Amino acid sequence: MMHINEYAKTSPIPKRILRYLHRVGEIHDPLSREDLIGLHFLEQIWGRKELLRAQLSRLSLKARLSFLRTADLPTKWERYAYSRFYNLAPGSKLPMPALIEEIQTTFCFQLGKQQISRLYTIRNRAQVAKHREKNRTGNS
């Protein structure tokens, strides 16, 4: 019997996705024979552009753009922080201590030094994206 952590070491499917599939009840831990067959099939089609295109086409253009901007942010609190900064009204400010408290209250955990540092990176990234979007729509 193989466990999810062992399987993840040799699979192109990220461990967090395997844990997600377990959490929603699609696979078991340890993996059953049926789970392994299904995962083998999933590995063969994982990341194919045609499949991604078909899945993304079901979303509105606004939802697709939002999804693509935050696709590499692995946690909900990171995506939340990015959205808070990106959707700020022009001229308004969101103090970092207020956002830290908001995240800690909403997601029920204390942010460490590394996570707070990550927030500054996310804030910068959102500001740059917003600035580029402003320039793109202003120069069209």
Bond from prior residue into 90 cis (ω within 30 degrees of 0): no
Which residues are bridge partners to 31 per DSSP? 2
**Looking at the structure, do residues 63 and 129 belong to the same domain, yes or no?**
yes
Share of the chain above pLDDT 90, in %: 81
User: H/E element holding 7?
Assistant: helix 4-8
Q: In this model, does residue 102 exceed pLDDT 60?
A: yes
Q: Quick check: is 54 in a domain?
A: no
Asked if residue 65 and residue 106 are part of one domain, the reply reads yes
For 9, the token pair is: 């070491």
Q: Which residue range forms the structural domain that includes residue 87?
A: 59-138
Task: Quickly state the pLDDT bin for 19 (edges 50, 70, 90).
Answer: very high
Question: Cα–Cα–Cα angle for 13, 53, 17, nearest 5°?
Answer: 20
